[in-house]
A and B are shown apart, each in its own frame.
Chain A
């Protein structure tokens, strides 16, 4: 792959590979790729692992993956930007996912979202300036029986109201607004 990339890209890959020697997480990612025999079709699995390890996918990380799976960087970038699950921006220390599935929507999830947006001073999909709090929406987390559902730092919480949600995120976005 190195032969077909521009000089600057080549430098970037070399830099990543050098950097990789120092960071244990790259070692883990390499082992993961080896388990998939460096097959190109494991790209999505590898990106999942990379995001799990690093929190988000930056250019260097994507180049590293491209180099090891012998794929053009454009392909890795294309896949990473196609799927909503992958993020190219770092997330805040705390995350709040508001489900906007149909069941949650008809039960007032949009009001919950608006309340949190107003409190944190950010829009859905953004992170506060102090990197403490990220607000995300989901298409449906399949918790329709307990709608509206909100996920606070990985904990699914049933039957949310705007007031209850604000109570939960109070400590996380106090610096933001």
Chain B
């Protein structure tokens, strides 16, 4: 295939478009609310009404507002129907003929939609994830052609450096720098890995990207492989995401069939293959060295760094490892230029970030906002605040590695550095809203239980420390702890944070530390009076003996 064939395919797909398009969400959230049946009914209704040459029913990826699913969007009128049942799906087609129907619609001027800016999710809800032609029609694979024929690998890396893109997996390492290191690393064989082991509870962005637009990730990986000189890629996906796995496999097969993956891509000397690796339920495998051990078919235990994967990774070869969302940004950056991307966001955090908004909030779903958007805009305007008039108490970001940001800090802009200052992290993008009925000590215990279970057991601080911290938190919750236990809790957190081998242990105390910092009162209210403390009855001025 060359560029002419690609453009011809695009033209053919566009020419086949019908005047009216009914887009039906077939991402995991809507599917579990009978989205597939809705789509079938729509197809049948269109056929029955004899509108087959006028109306296209397209299964698309996530339409964002997951709590109101199944969602159906009708173009060009721009109507978004919510909570569509298979029984009433037919009336959407009736409405096309001007009939009055009683169907609930989402207001398109809702800030949930208007405040979004889409780069990663630009194709989500637009293209059919099961058809490569649909992606090609949205200018897909043109960036890969541009890289292969108009740019040297060095130029591609420079473009990434200009863009200022930072890793979207959570740590925020500059992507361009990582690419440059792998490019310079010596070695005949190099690998590219896409980290799709989205283990943070409460995060579903990567899942949605993979389910809605798998080709953008494949294209990003191919461009990355060209830039660093790799010819083999792996996508490590969680086994908990069967739909994402199926759509990725379909996408890979289709790309191979069209010659967009395999040997001599776009009639250039570049060849590249991608294989799927299915995780088996271990949170620690989101850590890059553990993930690579798992790809090699071993127990997913991390190893010390350096050497970093960029120098010695998979099978000791230089390896480029990036998150799903990072790769999904790449094609857009090449198509529109690094400078364009750098114009979005804040000084040190460029571009947009996808968040999964969930918890005690009215509008749950997927949002993509420019970096630097204040938390208040996300939670109160876009999310619509807590349901039933409850007060928002805190926002949890970064999953078990992050922290809880209290309501008084809601004006914090969302970028890597501001969140770090508050003792939380950007993380992969899970955002859980908690209202005043949530007990923060219980939340800290919940996350510590998670880390305790998921610790791989290789290093002692994490293996034993998480258990001890969890037991201390349970003691506090049971009302059996004293002030001394709190002191010990803080010491232990400090120890685990500073002496653990990998990111799991190093960040495990974060939820405890951040709740201790902002919600210390809740801990203290649960404490027993310390039998050894200075008795408050001792009048001032008298000598009191404190027994320690």
Contacts and interface: CB of A to CB of B under 8 A. Distances in A.
Contacts, number: 137
A106 B432 contact: yes
B299 A78 contact: yes
B280 A85 contact: yes
A149 B297 CA distance: 31
B399 interface: yes
A156 B28 contact: yes
Nearest to B443: A106
B240 interface: yes
A103 B201 contact: yes
Contact of A85 (B198, B200, B281, B297): B281
Interface string B238-281: 01110000000000000000000000000000000000011111
B202 A43 contact: no
B365 A84 contact: no
B434 A145 contact: no
Nearest to A110: B446
Given A83-B281, A106-B438, A147-B358, A101 B67 contact: no
A56 interface: no
Interface in A69-96: 75, 78-79, 82-86
B378 to A, nearest CB: 15
Given A84-B282, A103-B432, A158-B32, A140 B200 contact: yes
A149 B364 CA distance: 14
Sorted from nearest, which 4 A-B pairs have the closest CB atoms? A145-B66, A83-B280, A101-B201, A84-B281
A102 B446 contact: yes
A118 interface: no
Q: Which of B282, B298, B366, B438 has the most CB of A within 10 A?
A: B298
Interface of B: 28-29, 31-33, 66-67, 69, 198-204, 207, 239-241, 277-283, 294-300, 356, 358-360, 364-366, 396, 399, 430, 432, 434, 438, 443, 446-447, 450, 454, 456
A75 B294 CA distance: 13
A142 B282 contact: no
A139 interface: yes
B280 A48 contact: yes
Interface residues of A, number: 39
B203 A144 contact: yes
A41 interface: yes
A40 B293 CA distance: 12
Nearest to B241: A142
Interface string A132-148: 00000011111111110
B203 A142 contact: yes
A42 interface: yes
A139 B281 CA distance: 9
Interface in A119-177: 138-147, 149, 155-158
B297 A40 contact: yes
B69 A146 contact: yes
Contacts of B295: 41
Q: Which of B32, B296, B300 has the most CB of A within 10 A?
A: B32
A112 interface: no
Contacts of B399: 102
B151 to A, nearest CB: 33
A67 to B, nearest CB: 16
Nearest to A69: B297
A102 B298 contact: no
B359 A145 contact: no
Contacts of A107: 359-360
Q: Which of B67, B239, B300, B358 has the most CB of A within 10 A?
A: B358
25 contacts: A40-B297, A43-B298, A44-B294, A44-B297, A45-B278, A75-B298, A83-B300, A85-B281, A102-B201, A102-B396, A102-B430, A102-B432, A106-B434, A107-B360, A139-B199, A139-B450, A140-B199, A140-B204, A142-B240, A143-B29, A145-B204, A145-B366, A149-B32, A156-B31, A158-B33
